[in-house]
Chain A
Amino acid sequence: MVGGVPYGVKLLSVVLVAAIAIFMLVPLMVVIGSSVSASEFLVFPPRGLSLRWYGEVLQSDAYLSAAKTSVQLALVTVVVSVAIGTSAAIALTMFRFPGGSFLSALFLSPLILPSLIFAIGLLMVFSAYADGPSFTGLVVGHVVITLPYVIRTVSAALADMDPHLDEASRMMGASWWQRYLLVILPQCRTGMAAGAFFVFNISFDDAVVALFMRAPDVETLPMRIYSSLEFSPDPSVAAVSTIMIGITIVLVLVLNRVFGLARIM
């Protein structure tokens, strides 16, 4: 402990930390708790104990196709976002060029800009210049809102790189594409993995862009959950959510095992 801190301040900080932990964990507990309820309705505490809603979810065509759409969307978004974000991060960290700092700010702006405003704009653009919202439109939207995460994680990985690596490989006779493919890109690996993790989670979880870009034939899992909650609030919603929590935890564990989260976040 830090010495010389008044007792009252210590007490306050303990209370605050406890409150934050409680507010983070209690909603998850409630969701997980209600998912194992035997009741017909979404209630907490659960009445009776049953895994029937997990069965319902896994047999529901609506949930399964929505999950499939969400996974496809998230995977396509990961590929596009990591490809663009990594290239952008390499360009922004390794070169000085006019407009560089402006571009850097522009790429990171989705972190600050309300995604609601962006989603409205995106909808208008796709309505005016394409055939309205579509899977492609969702991919574009998700790439934009996830790009800052990839740029940040890859830039952080590049900042750790030996600054002379590129010059050294040049002196040893590597051509420009060999320098990128054999020397620089491998240094981005941890950043790309961390970025991909964020991208997948954000895309899989997004409701705002998906709400505006809702096409008749494209329904993502968050949209499905939202409409279920609106029209037939049974514990299957909680069961789906619990499965999503589980997938996230597994992803985090895998990522931590392979790369070490402390190094890349």
Chain B
Amino acid sequence: MAGLSKLRRVQISGVLVALAFVFKNTSELTAITNLIMLAATVVAGTPILKRAVGALKYKILGIDALVSIAVIGALAIGEYWEAAAVTFLFMLGDYLEARTIEKTRSSIKALLELAPDTARVLRDGAEVEVSPDEVVAGDVVIIRPGEKIPVDGTVLEGTAYVNQAAITGESIPLSKQPEDNVFSGTIIESGYLKVRADRVGEDTTFARILQMVEEAQDKKAETQKFLERFSRYYTPSIIVLAALIYLFSRDLVLALTLLVIACPGALVISAPVSIVAGIGNGARHGVLIKGGEIMEKLGKSKVLAFDKTGTLTVGKPAVTKVKAYNIGEKELLRLAAIGESYSEHPLGRAIIEQAERELGPLTETPDEAELITGHGLKAVIGGETILIGNRKLFADHNVSLAGVEAYLAGEEAKGQTAIIVGNLSGVLGVISIADTVREDAKALIDTVKRLGIAKIAMLTGDNPGTAKSISDQLGIDEYYAELLPQDKVRILNELRTRYGAVAMVGDGVNDAPALASADVGIAIGGAGTDVAMETADVVLMSAQLKQLAHAIGLSRATVRNLKQNIVFALIVAGLLLAGVLVKTVNLSFGMLIHEANVLLVIVNAVRLLGYSAD
């Protein structure tokens, strides 16, 4: 009897309750009916009573104790049907809640299943299969198509396409070759890799993500703490109320019914189920949100601040404009590219890349070329001397810039680096180069504004021209340029005073102080970066901006879900209390509503698992 599983108890007592219901309404055999009801009560009620007694030993009055008192009371006054129905409903509710609540936590289980289970390592020249826990740092691991990489490591040999969804949430395979880093838990779709194990077991990024998600799930949100405080007063007040009612009206049934609804189950559970589902959804999309409090803060943030331009730009200069005087634009680009042939300068590389894109591979080389550090270069192409560089270069060679000065100044004000191309007799043209904005950045800014971020700010150490140009292109509301790290902290404080909670996005490495001083610090591209993973409040595993949109959208959806749950639970609790007091709700009906309320709150939270930003 004691060994019956929860499900068995629910089934047996369910059948008995149904039987009793039929007998009650059709036959006159009261004794048999009562016996069946009693049996149902014992089957379903034993574990409740056991828990209640166990808790009372430690002077703790839980819902089990309240239900037990109500049921014993009901039996004492001959309300066998109520006793059977209440215990059955309570156990059924408990069982269904366990099943549905598992669902809200299913994301982490799904993640766990991605963990590697075997590893093939080279030991004394031979391949041996071992458990991933037995791999030590420095081992050489071999991974074939379809297999999971069991360690964080560096590719020694081979090439492969690797699906990194377990880490980044991004399932488009990435190409990996020698020197590249690979992560534990990711899968080789095609190809073959020999990897040197750098981190193994619990130290791998994958293992740490799992651990962080698990910890995050149980970090309480502010709302949750408040609800727990509330319920600490709610339950005893209802018990006192029940006692008072019995004392004054001698209405035992009413008093017992109050006990059954005294536990604000749905209210207490409303916040944690939403939070756990939200965090689980994030984890599956490469967004690690470290706890309920952070989820709430992010969901309520008003300002999104980007630390430095690099997050929004490609981070690599590119030619944005070619202006030619007296020669064709293509010819100008060709000359400049040939001149830069031997240059390793990033600006020179940008010119060559643009020329090859427009004109095809370059075959010509300059007759001679001389790099003049800080000024540019002087090359001889087809017998003609060509100057490529800044104002100083042209001043040194006494070439006048009078005709183009206005244009140069205009370009520079737009944040462009203007490279002047000319010969010894005059200027041939100007090539503008700048870091370009990321293609997904514009879409991101639009999305987060739609999601309810009131102000978007950019804090950068770059010059004002570059900052303005980028913020104009993207529709950023405010930019602050030429900042030192300590300035950023001050500006964040100003933004907070003016608009409200600030979420700050950065790489989590160079900008740790700024991220720490924001209400929510978001590190982008955090996979594999220890500092970012440890210190940021929210870690976006990949460098993709759409993960940022997902994080912000998800946090808002979670906060919304949580509010729906609280409001719903409060309304039902209020109606239930009123219903009991005016005697339209009896013992078993009260229990039914109570359990249904809890279930609905959980089911609402499960919806969050399907949230998607696009």
Asked if A and B bind, the verdict is: no
